[in-house]
Chains A and B, each alone.
Chain A
Amino acid sequence: MNARSGDTLTLDVSEGAGAAHWLSRFNPAAKIVAALVLAFGLIPATDPVTAGVVLAAAVVLVPFSGVDRRTLLVLGLPFLLMGSSTLLVNLLYGDQGAEGALGAAVRVLAIALPGLLVAISSDPTDLSDGLVQRLKVPERPAMGVLAALRLVPLLAHQWRSVTFARRARGIAAGGNPFRAVALFFGRLFSLLVRSVRTGTLLATAMDARAFGTGPRTRARHSRWGRRDTLLVAAAPALLAAAYGISHSAGTLSPVWQMK
């Protein structure tokens, strides 16, 4: 309940963490561009093979992203759920048959996994530096998001406190799903009140340190190396390979050829 306790878990950026992992050595901006290229490049592909090749390449990268087993499990489950529900819906209601359904499911995963890898393997500060300095994202929202990210563990803490408080007041769903939903929104409102207050305080503190009063300089330089250029180039290359393999396997059926 004490918001200032040391057991607050952090969106950790501990010293040197991640640096040991191959994928975290790239500029986050390069990773974002590569992931976006893959995502847009896969939109026309409806067959399982094209997206499958990209998904396989992304899966191969997972061990190099520094993700631990627990995170993989926590993040992977909703992921698989998303894939399998896409499969099911397309199988039941789609007009592309089993192959089309599988294609849609694999595509969803092949688009989402690279994005997830970017998030896992990038330090939030480096990510914001990359966005601002390399991709020219406006500074104010980028800094705002970064500061907000720091509040996520605090928010988790407040959520627990609000949850305990409901029980202390004698409020529980008692197995009633409608009451559970109503309760959830009640808690959400309490959390909102708290987070608006924290957010206002943080904004005041940022203002007190002269944020937004004029042109800023940058203490950190977001480096772009040859490997970053190579990564960005690798994305279309991977797409080309995927479409090529699918074509030679005879499974390629882009959207514009769909009946």
Chain B
Amino acid sequence: MADVNLSGWGWRHAGRSAHALRGVDLRIDAGERVLLLGASGAGKSTLLHALAGLTGPDGAISGEEEGTLLVDGRPADRGRGLVGLVSQDPDAQLVMARSGDDVAFGLENLGVEPERIWPRVSHALEAVGFAYGLRHSTGALSGGEKQRLVVAGALAMRPRLLLLDEPTANLDPEGAALVRGVLQRLLADTEATLVLVEHRVAEVTDLVDRVVVLEPGGGVVADGPPARVFARHGADLAARGVWVPGREPAPALAPAPGGVPVLAAEGVTARTPIGLGVRGGGRRTVLENVDAEIRSGSATALVGTNGSGKSTLLTLLAGLARPHRGAVVPRGRLSEADSRPLDRWAARRLAQHVGTVFQHAEDQFVTASVREELRFGPRRAGLPPMQVEARVDELLQRLRLDTLADVHPYTLSGGEKRRLSVATALGSGPEDTPYVLALDEPTFGQDTRTWRELVDLLAGLRTAGSAVLMATHDLLLQRHFTDSRLLVCGAGVHTDERKTE
């Protein structure tokens, strides 16, 4: 029920020369439901954080502000319980070890009397449909359930303005559907004003009645009911990488050449690692006696809910981890390099033939510049310097990283990091196509432009004969670029050779 008023508002993050946003004029009436859109880097999250009162002199985010930003006619100010914020990563939002305590945390901070805290906690948990008890361990919840709890924590504070920053971005499809259901029910009951940022627009258009499009470094460029904004600006938004409903990328890819098996899991059993902490619990079997075959010249998707073991299977197939029982063995030309099980291979040899792209790209960066990062593999593979440089230049061009060659990898944007991480996984072998390329959630959180580039790149590798192996939730990726699926569930694996849909 809070109204929001921005005029000439701008924000520049500390240490940056360019404004994240500038000249924003926006009025949101009490009870409106607004979707904020814009290309990556358009300052959507920044605006949400400012509305939550997190920017400014005592805020968590420092920088320079201009213009005015008023919530209910006053400067946004955290601590009055006026605003509730739900962000992407549930793991970075839950504070307490027990579910009830976590919801109570915000109420304690607001100074609510102790005897009134628990009824409000129970009420909030009921409103979001949280089925576990107050004492249930927050660490033992699935991603979707964690996010459900985060929503309850924001709700218990009875916000007049609810801010949602890609609340389903980090969840598997089941978890995302769960949270959307919670939000839908919630918005029917509450009168709170809503401002939502979401990448995957199609899934949330029924939650909002207004769409506001922001320009990177600028202000509002389009504003109105969803249907009208998408009709007028849809093409433009799609061109800038926004996931516009009905304008999802539909790449025309070369067909899979197919091929012979290069890799096989034989009776693989895997268990969770020993837990840290005083009551870490025992090891759980995530994969039991799994057989699977990966073929060259084809794209294989590992699918299944979070925690089903598909990431574990990916690390095993990529030769990074040792199975508890059974083995991942090379076949065909891969076995010519080394016929032992993959986990026995020396790291250097493994990197020449089997590449892995991690979900968090930073994990795999080992040098201080983009160019060094690309040199690293070929140089270690023993290529002559001339050839190394030629390879690096070619990769820089192909992945549009040539202007960023001397930049530190950590300072790249999300899409650039993704491209670089794929490039580093390619460049170790004698040819620049690895026999196997394993990727963990490669399209996660990417805009349509990076998505397309990535799919084109992977399709090129498939044509050249690589076996592309992806652990992924992305249904669009599965629709356009998957030749066979391995469904991981209940510690087993089911193969589905048909193309999805």
Contacts and interface: CB of A to CB of B under 8 A. Distances in A.
A53 B205 CA distance: 70
B95 interface: yes
B358 interface: yes
A125 B98 contact: yes
A164 to B, nearest CB: 4
B366 A169 contact: yes
A68 B425 CA distance: 42
A9 B280 contact: yes
A150 B138 contact: yes
B139 A12 contact: yes
B318 interface: yes
Contacts of B275: 9-10, 153, 156
B320 A216 contact: no
Contact of B315 (A1, A6, A172): A1
Given A1-B311, A219-B114, A207 B54 contact: yes
7 contacts: A10-B277, A11-B278, A123-B97, A153-B276, A167-B351, A169-B376, A202-B93
Given A6-B306, A168-B364, A211-B109, A14 B137 contact: yes
Most chain B CB neighbours (cut-off 10 Å) among A14, A125, A219: A219
A201 B87 CA distance: 9
Contacts of A211: 105, 109
Given A4-B170, A150-B139, A201-B92, A165 B364 contact: yes
A150 to B, nearest CB: 6
Contacts of B311: 1-2, 5
Contact of A147 (B95, B366, B381): B95
Contacts of A172: 346-348
B447 interface: no
Nearest to B100: A219
B279 A168 contact: no
A7 interface: yes
A138 interface: no
A205 B275 CA distance: 26
B130 interface: no
A120 B96 CA distance: 18
A105 interface: no
A210 interface: yes
A66 B472 CA distance: 40
B301 interface: no
Contacts of A15: 133, 135-137
B437 to A, nearest CB: 11
B367 to A, nearest CB: 10
A220 B365 CA distance: 44
Interface string A197-218: 0101111111111111111111
Interface string A135-164: 000000001001101111111101011101
A57 interface: no
Contacts of A124: 97
B79 A214 contact: yes
Contact of A213 (B78, B143, B410): B78
A221 interface: yes
B111 A214 contact: yes
Interface string B242-282: 00000000000000000000000000000011111111111
Interface of A: 1-18, 67, 70-71, 74, 119-120, 123-125, 143, 146-147, 149-156, 158, 160-162, 164-172, 174, 186, 190, 193-194, 198, 200-221
B197 interface: no
B193 interface: no
Nearest to B307: A6
B98 A198 contact: no
B347 A10 contact: no
B161 to A, nearest CB: 12
Given A211-B109, A217-B108, A11 B279 contact: yes
A198 to B, nearest CB: 5
A211 B363 CA distance: 31
Contacts of B317: none
A71 B95 contact: no
Which of B61, B83, B105, B380 is the most central at the interface, judged by chain A CB atoms within 10 Å of its CB?
A: B105
B314 A1 contact: yes
A207 B364 contact: no
Contact of A203 (B60, B97, B110, B425): B60
Contact of B89 (A71, A168, A201): A201
Contacts of A120: 278
Contact of A198 (B92, B282, B348): B92
Given A1-B358, A216-B111, A12 B91 contact: no
A219 B278 contact: no
Contacts of A213: 78-79, 109
